[in-house]
Amino acid sequence: MGKDVSNEQLFELMTKMYNELTGRMDSMHSELTGRMDSMHSELTGRMDSMHSELTGRIDSMQGELTGRMDSMDSELTGRMDSMHSELTGRMDSMDNELTGRMDSMDNKLTNRMDSMHSELTGRIDSMQGEMQGMQDEIKEIKNRVIVIEQEHGKKLDALFDGYKQNSDKLDRIEEEVSKHEEIILRRIK
């Protein structure tokens, strides 16, 4: 491997990635929910405003026309009913269109979130596989180290025995040299 990574570092990296992805998903969800709520409020406001405006106009026209031309009452009533039906149709059409768009946006958001979930699940599974591989390698290395320690332990024992034997021999030689030295010194005196 090019770089040694501890299990803690790997776990910290995975935790950081998970937290970052969770934060991003929460942020996206909040942003999309806010946008949808804002659009819904805006559309509701516009529809209420349009309804109020149209109702006000219709009521105004009806009062004015009724006061001025009683003879055209049936014609105006027909036109107003027609306009009401048309407006209702348009509002229903707009409602259907908005509902379709919102459903489409909901589906896209759901698909994106499902895709991200699948991708994250795949990455986590991959990382777990890599971690298992690393754990297996660590176990193998640990077993090798144990074997090396045992082999070197035996070799060190043999070296220490050889050192002790050499040390004992040197001690005996030193004793002999000391004895000879005493004898030589006695002869010289």
Host domain of residue 60 = 7-138
Query: Is residue 91 domain-resident?
Result: yes
Query: Is residue 157 domain-resident?
Result: no
Query: Is residue 63 domain-resident?
Result: yes
Count of structural domains within the chain: 1
Query: Is residue 143 domain-resident?
Result: no
Query: Is residue 182 domain-resident?
Result: no
Query: Is residue 176 domain-resident?
Result: no
Query: Is residue 51 domain-resident?
Result: yes
Query: Is residue 186 domain-resident?
Result: no
pTM of structure: 0.32
Using DSSP's 3-state secondary structure scheme, residue 100 falls into: helix
Residue 113 is classified by DSSP as H
Residue 71 is classified by DSSP as G
The answer on pLDDT for 109 being more than 60 is: yes
Average pLDDT, integer, range 56-60: 82
CB 36 within 8 A of CB 102: yes
Which two structure tokens, joined as six digits, stand for 104? Answer: 């489409």
Averaged pLDDT of the chain: 85
Between CA 97 and CA 104, with CA 99 as vertex, the angle to 5 degrees is: 95
Provide the pLDDT for residue 73.
Answer: 62
